[in-house]
Structure 1
Amino acid sequence: MAKTISADICIIGAGSGGLSVAAGAAQLGRKVVLIEKGDMGGDCLNTGCVPSKALIAAAGRAHAIRHADKFGIRSSEPDVDFGAVMDHVHNVIATIAPVDSQERFEGLGVTVIREHATFIGPREVVAGGQKIKAKHFVIATGSTPFVPPIDGLSSVPFFTNETIFENRERPDHLIVIGGGPIGVEMAQAHRRLGAKVTIIEGDRLLNKDDPELTAIVANQLREDGIDIVEGAKANKIIKTDAGVGVNIDDRTIVGSHLLMAVGRKPTVDDLNLEAAGVEYERSGIKVDDRLRSTNKRIFAIGDVAGGKQFTHVAGYHASVLVRNILFKMPAKNNEGLAPHVTYADPELAQIGLDEKTAREKHGDEIKVVRWPFLENDRALAERDTRGMVKVITDKKGVVLGAGIVGKGAGDLLQPWTLAITSGQKIKTFTDMIAPYPTRGEANKRVAGDWYSKTLFSPRTRKLISLLAIFD
């Protein structure tokens, strides 16, 4: 007979969103049950954000060795021990893992069950021979790699982001199907670690981002030696003596290894959501603006909720839930204000509307300003002037969107995130004092450029002449 546990909140999924809700609720005195069938920390810690950034960091060191000569230091081809690189990746995971561990959460008073959860009713789940009844449920099961039904794919081994970090031998030629953020990041990292790399993308590279900015990333990838094939569909996968062949429109690209990076799908399989009265579709569980499912006692957060699939969005969702469930505040999800970053070199970061979307929404009532890092003294000192800051405002100067491509773009974007979230005007940036020499000065300079045509216009010159009478 199944043991029954009663709780205030039952959370399914121990990724970033689920863990944040569990920690918050437990520390506020609520009885919490956390169910996780896989690794604590979810995709971000184990197969996503953390390992990919650790791999990118290693690749960056190799790239720096190859190009040290521009600083008067002799360049050389780095001796890459790919197995040791992966040791570094897993050491980083292990260092962070205690923060997300079962032991830590049990120390907070959370009941942790390491089993698969299945709904058996609108307010009940079973997991590992135990029945959990709760006042509220939170589904935070995340997403998994989407593997398209390409002819022949099942006949060859292939990587996804969930398996590629277990590989300890450098690929001779990695073929990446998918030119989104995951595909681009993994392609560049492997290329800089010494593998030959080809990206196959059915649309254009990083097609959800501003094409003016993505072109700068694409140029760097090509300079790194990556072959980019855009507007090409993988029709068939074949096994070859070298490893794998990908047939596209007019040719077959042959490589040693294959990475599938064409997107992700919400993890809803085997939850038996029908028994709970929870409706879902291909994009994820249907939720309202308070992240409630069609069963108002069951919430969904993070990737499984069908919105933006970013770790920081899952964390934001958790804060919305804590206010809704525990503080009884009608907090609403506003993830449209969430920034996103592709951690290539150079980084690409965006918040709010891009130029195309802004023109579609506001017509000619927008203003677009840019400031290139070519005119930034810190970038010149570092001999890395790739990229720019690009800002879109309405005619009154209210910031509608910002995009940055360049070194540290994700960090440089944060003031624009604050500006858009709080509805500030671009004048905020002209008023601030930016430390010199920093790349952050570009944020102030682009804001100054917004006013330059008016400031240095004949009309202003005439005004200054008139005022000079009073000298």
Structure 2
Amino acid sequence: MKKYDVIIIGGGAGGLTVASGASSLGAKVALIEKEQNLGGDCLHVGCVPSKAFIQAAKELYTARNKATSLGLTVSGETTLKQVNERVKKSIDVIQEHDSDERFTSMGIDLYKGYGRFTSDHTVLIHNEEIYGKRIVIATGSRPFVPPIKGLEEAGYWTNETIFKQEHLPKELLVIGAGPIGLELSHAMARLGSNVTVVERAPTLLSKEDSDISHVASKNLERELTFLLESEVKEVKRENGKKNVMIDVKGTMKQFTFDEILVAVGRTPNSDKLQLERAGVQMDEKGFVPTNDRLQSNVKHIYAIGDINGKYPFTHVAGEEGKTVVQNVVLGIPKKMSYNEIPWIIYTDPEIFHVGITEAEAKNKGIEYSVYKVSLEDVDRFVADHDTSGLVKIITNSKGNMIGAHAIGNGSGDWMQTVIFAMKNKKKIGDLSQMIFPYPNHAAAIQRTADLYWREKLFSGIIPKLTKTYIKWFR
């Protein structure tokens, strides 16, 4: 039986971070991956393909809708085959960075197949059993498919299959209005489908700040049809179409669609690990709970990424991987902090989120201030003729930023300065001290931070004192 310092089950973002980091520090590492290629869902059916897909849709939409204002006419239609061929090219380029050869050249032993625990220190792949002093579970998650009558028989798409399709449906039903559902719905609408989104909740984007979700909802409603407080009850396939019964706010209605995309959440890939043989506990949904050092209840077995049920983001899995390397290889009691975890919803315009919302600040009884600027007041967005959006920064009574939110073209990029400032305990006033090139999209941050100084310097007693000073001494 081969023995390793670290066994990693799962070759996605988190697993690859641990494998490369541990090996570079001198540990003997085994990496187990069930798929043919490394990279995980993010590379093959998640982050990378979806962003390539969304970008293609955005370019088509811009060409069709913006060209007319400049006297041009655009004609022709695209197919999903053409779009997904472009998506595959993006995957292939990045796949080179996650190639088998790259990791085996580091001295990592790579096993292809399902890893199953046989004890708390041993894992079986096919017919080979290996031993690990410490084991990291990084098996990710997969789309959750709700038990809707007739859905399996009628057929459906998920984020794992949409990037393999060739034909654009005229009428598309999307079940679920979470980030994945909204991103793909918006892209499909811009490619040419009539998209109807069914969501059980009464509002969209409930995890976002209310000012942001209000603007986003109004934008999305221009291109998508939403059935809120609604639920799909039954699907029947007839004459190549899908007849769908939907409970719309208590009233049953029938609709006909060409295809159905299911995007109602994720379920952890823990069912084939045989965790009970290792004594690892799961919650009722199959996630592996961890402490702040990312240890399961079995202290030498760690869980990172989607499998631990915390934040289902690739960048979080990578950061958790870095934390685990320090704990597993170096023995440094490193804790994972989620205080400044950002996320972006890649609709158009993008939605940026870091820290808490105003509602959360209010519910926690925090004394807070809000600084908010519309992109209509930022010259670069005016020049771009793209002013839909805003920036909103929430501070505590000392001016420390506890939440920052934005919606606007490229906000996921130009709001990065705020993450750095929050991470380094800078106050909102510090952002105003930066020199931003003019005209620049990030000037939206400067305009927002300037409000802080305007409030401090140009109201209250200070203007009275300076007026007296000028009168007598200047």
- Into which bin does the TM-score normalised by the smaller protein fall? over 0.9
**Equivalent in the alignment of 1:27:** 24
C-alpha root-mean-square deviation of aligned residues, in Å?
1.4
Q: Does 1:16 align with 2:43?
A: no
TM-score if structure 1 supplies the norm length? 0.96
Query: 1:5 — aligned with what?
Result: 2
Q: Supply the distance in 1 between the matched residues of 2:360 and 2:209 (Cα, whole angstroms).
A: 10
Deviations 1:87-135 (A, max 9, x none): 0001111111111121211111111110111101010011021111011
Query: Structure 2 vs 1, CA of residues 306 and 464 (structure 1 numbering), >3 Å: closer, same or farther?
Result: same
Q: Which amino acid aligns with 2:194?
A: K
For the Cα contact (< 8 Å) 1:66–1:78, is it kept in 2? no
Which residue pairs with 2:48 in the alignment?
50
Q: Is the aligned partner of 1:448 residue 2:447?
A: no
State the secondary structure of the residue aligned to 1:270: coil
Equivalence for 1:373? 375
SS at match of 1:212: helix
2:116 paired residue number: 118
Q: Matches of residues 353-392 of structure 1 in structure 2 within 5 Å?
A: 353-363=356-366, 365-392=367-394
C-alpha displacement of 1:195: 1.1
Query: Structure 2 stretches of 5 or more lacking a match?
Result: none
Structure 1, gaps ≥5 residues long:
none
Q: Does 1:331 align with 2:330?
A: no
Question: Following the alignment from structure 2 to structure 1, what is the Cα–Cα distance between the partners of residues 12 and 146?
Answer: 25
Question: Which sits farther off after the overlay, 236-245 or 180-189?
Answer: 236-245
Q: CA deviation at 1:349?
A: 0.8
- Counterpart CA distance in 2 for 1:100 and 1:69 is 39
Aligned counterpart for 2:287 among listed residues 284, 287, 290: 284
TM-score by length of 2: 0.95
Tell me: CA distance 1:69–1:93, structure 2 relative to 1, closer, same or farther (3 Å): closer
Partner of 2:210: 211
Q: 1:197/1:242 Cα in 2 relative to 1: closer, same or farther (>3 Å)? A: farther
Match of residue 186 from structure 1: 184
Q: 2:272 aligns with which of 267, 270, 290?
A: 270
**Greater CA drift, 369-378 or 202-211:** 202-211
Distance 1:134 1:178 in 2: 40
Contact 1:144 1:266 in 2 (8 A): yes
Please give the secondary structure, in 2, of the residue aligned with 1:410: helix
Q: Could you tell me how far 1:242 is from its partner in structure 2? A: 5.1
CA distance in 2, matches of 1:253, 1:308: 35
Give the Cα separation in 1 of the matches to 2:427 and 2:141: 37
2:270/2:286 contact within 8 Å kept: no
> Residue by residue, what CA displacement relative to the aligned partner does 1:389-444 show, whole Å, maximum 9, x if unpaired?
00111111110100010011111221221222222211111111111111101101
Mapped to 2, the partners of 1:286 and 1:144 lie a distance apart of 18
Please say if residues 271 and 286 of structure 2, whose CA atoms lie closer than 8 Å, have aligned partners that are also in contact. Answer: no
Report SS of the residue matched to 2:230. coil
1:350 has 2:350 as partner: no
What is the count of residue pairs matched by the alignment?
466
Selected match of 1:414 from 411, 416, 433: 416
Partners of 2:415 and 2:442 within 8 A in 1: no
Identity of aligned residues (%): 38
- Which range moved further: 453-462 or 326-335? 453-462
Partner of 1:470: 473
Question: What is the Cα deviation at residue 42 of structure 1?
Answer: 0.6
Give yes or no for the alignment of 1:61 onto 2:25: no
Contact 1:65 / 1:77 at 8 angstroms: preserved in 2?
no
Query: 1:110 and 1:73 mapped to 2: Cα distance?
Result: 58
1:104 match = 102
| CA distance 1:70–1:399, shift in 2 (3 Å) | farther
